[in-house]
Chain A
Amino acid sequence: MRALVSTMRAELVGAGGVVERNYYLTKRYIWWDVAWFLWTVANTLTIVFIAKGIEASGGTLDVNTTMTTLLIGAVVWAYLGILFEFLMETVAWERWEGTIEYTFMAPLSRAMHLAGQGVFAILYGLLRATFLFCVCAFLFFNLEMPDAQYFPAFVVLLVASISFIGIGMMMSVLPLISPEKGTQLGFVAQGTLLVVSGVYYPVSVLPEWMQWIAKISPATYALDGIRGAILDGEGLSAMWDDIWPLLVIGVVSVPLGLWVFARGEQYAKKHGKLKRSG
């Protein structure tokens, strides 16, 4: 029993080490992150302005609601981008710095290693997503959200993050398989996930086969839940229909992500792909 407690303690300290390392790195590269944030704001604005453009060209729509709907889609897109970026970096950045063999040799389980990476990604992603939402909603567009329930929206995003991390773990093996092109494929996964999930439109407008895929995408329930909380003022109890599928997908995707990562790690060791030179 004592040995188990000691092992668990060491594992938690190790996961904390991953969070600590990412904190140091974020601090060192903070101005690059500021520049990247400006790009994210610009990208979000181009999407949200579409609603104003439709109105200006004679279309009839509730501009405030449409802009908020688009903004939520853009913020979730950006959030998912941050999560995937950090998880993809689990391998890519360490490989570039030449630390990956050292890390893989340390007595830290891969599950806790990836959990540490995921926890930092969620914390940093939530911070950035909140900031992005506030800057665009209140600074640029002065959007009105009289019924908004922010706490339930946060809860849905947090629960969805478990599934996102699971999917991110699967994606993070790509740089192990292809050091040159693997990281870019993360964007493909991000785009594919969101396009079927109704990122800027209702899922009902998609072809039927895409709607079937939407049912197993955690982003579908995350977007639906957040929009329900922000636009319709839904509380946690009203959002249960979105939360339970997220929990189920999370329970499946995290172990699956760990399994896929373990296979990728084995492949990389077998093919000598852990070294910087490729």
Chain B
Amino acid sequence: MSDVEEEVMKVVPVRREVAVDVRELRKEFRRKDVGRRRGKRTRVALDGVTFTMERGETVAILGQNGSGKSTLLLPDGGSARIFGHDAVSESRAVRRLVNRVSVEASFFKKMSAAENLGYAARYYGMTARQTKDEIPAILGRVGFPADRRNEPMENLSRGMQQKVALARALLTSPVLLLLDEPTTGLDPRSKLEVQEFIREIRSLHDSTILLCTHDLDEAEALAERVGILDRGALLALEPADDLKRRYGCGTLEEAFFAATGRAFEAEEDEDDDREVFA
């Protein structure tokens, strides 16, 4: 590539395939009130969230507990297209393309890592013959000791369980990976290992990653763009440096404060209900 071409490439953004295109996402939870305020209450967890993601891009969504981060992955209104497929009318096709790692390592705790991965792969149409070699290989790649493959999950550390969760997600070769606070509660070493593996997934598999987190450093380290979600509304979505520049701040935490008017770690009483639902 010539010097001129290099300069042009820096200025003109490369157009990549649109992986995620969501418009006006909404999520409401209804709850019966008890006590003095009897009746049904509706809480809005997502309020008209719109954004797009390109193939291979990692986007982090920041928000306090109860801000609607997790429900972003389970909307019940608006439109969402994943690699051109409508999330509602073509939900089966979409579900084949997507996998998820949540904050809690969701496993049958009495079953082993190999058993958990095995049955989960069947849900994606993978036969026992297909997973026979694939499961040991993928567990090996996340650094899972071979001699513990058949041990019940309940005997494993949280960090180890989270690695198995990543292996399970990767086993089905997802083109869109939803990570819901994947390193929350991990010790620093496990956290770094999981983050390293996420980078590897991105570089080797060209996966598009939507990361919901309240870890500012993690968001900055892993994502190309960072979104700020507050009370169900997406206030901004741009590269971390642009966010800091836009709000005239030196850190992402300050930018978050400037955008929302609240400190990142602050918990307000009025958010209590949201947290119950979200």
* Inter-subunit contact B100/A17 (CB<8 Å): no
In the complex, chain B residues whose CB is within 8 Å of the CB of A108: 123
Q: B116-158 toward A: CB 8 Å interface, digit per residue (1/0)?
A: 0011111111110000000000000000000000001000000
* A120 to B248 alpha-carbon distance, docked (Å): 61
* Inter-subunit contact A102/B106 (CB<8 Å): yes
Within 8 A of B (CB), among A1-49: 7, 9-11, 13-14, 16-18, 20-21, 24-25, 28-29
Question: Given known contacts A21-B108, A28-B111, is B120 in contact with A107 (CB within 8 Å)?
Answer: no
* A103 to B95 alpha-carbon distance, docked (Å): 11
Question: Given known contacts A17-B121, A107-B95, is B110 in contact with A272 (CB within 8 Å)?
Answer: no
Is B10's CB within 8 Å of the partner chain A? no
* Inter-subunit contact A20/B122 (CB<8 Å): yes
* Inter-subunit contact B152/A98 (CB<8 Å): no
Q: Which of A7, A14, A28, A102 contacts B122 (CB 8 A)?
A: A14
Is B241's CB within 8 Å of the partner chain A? no
Question: Given known contacts A21-B108, A271-B31, is B124 in contact with A106 (CB within 8 Å)?
Answer: yes
- Considering the complex, give the chain B residue whose CB is closest to the CB of A14: B123
* A234 to B221 alpha-carbon distance, docked (Å): 74
Is A101's CB within 8 Å of the partner chain B? yes
* Inter-subunit contact A18/B100 (CB<8 Å): no
* A107 to B30 alpha-carbon distance, docked (Å): 27
Chain B: how many interface residues by the 8 Å CB criterion? 36
In the complex, chain A residues whose CB is within 8 Å of the CB of B105: 98
Is A105's CB within 8 Å of the partner chain B? yes
* A24 to B277 alpha-carbon distance, docked (Å): 33
Question: Given known contacts A28-B111, A270-B30, is B106 in contact with A99 (CB within 8 Å)?
Answer: yes
* Inter-subunit contact B104/A98 (CB<8 Å): yes
Question: Given known contacts A105-B100, A272-B29, is B109 in contact with A97 (CB within 8 Å)?
Answer: yes
Is B199's CB within 8 Å of the partner chain A? no
Is A269's CB within 8 Å of the partner chain B? yes
* A109 to B104 alpha-carbon distance, docked (Å): 24
* Inter-subunit contact B119/A18 (CB<8 Å): yes
* Inter-subunit contact B120/A97 (CB<8 Å): no
In the complex, chain A residues whose CB is within 8 Å of the CB of B107: 97-99
* Inter-subunit contact B118/A20 (CB<8 Å): yes
- Considering the complex, give the chain A residue whose CB is closest to the CB of B178: A105
Within 8 A of B (CB), among A167-208: none
* A272 to B32 alpha-carbon distance, docked (Å): 12
Smallest CB separation, B95 vs chain A (Å): 4
- Considering the complex, give the chain A residue whose CB is closest to the CB of B180: A101
Most chain A CB within a 10 A radius of its CB, from B98, B105, B123, B124: B123
Q: Which of B104, B119, B278 contacts A276 (CB 8 A)?
A: B104
Top 3 closest A-B pairs, CB basis?
A: A17-B122, A10-B125, A106-B123
A-B contact pairs, 28 of them (CB 8 A): A13-B122, A14-B122, A16-B122, A17-B118, A17-B119, A17-B123, A20-B118, A21-B111, A21-B115, A21-B119, A24-B111, A24-B115, A25-B108, A28-B110, A97-B107, A97-B108, A97-B109, A98-B104, A98-B106, A98-B107, A101-B102, A107-B93, A107-B123, A107-B124, A108-B123, A270-B29, A271-B31, A272-B277
Q: A98-B106, A109-B92 are in contact. List 12 more A-B contacts (CB 8 A).
A: A10-B125, A13-B126, A18-B119, A21-B115, A24-B111, A24-B119, A101-B102, A106-B120, A107-B95, A107-B124, A270-B29, A276-B104
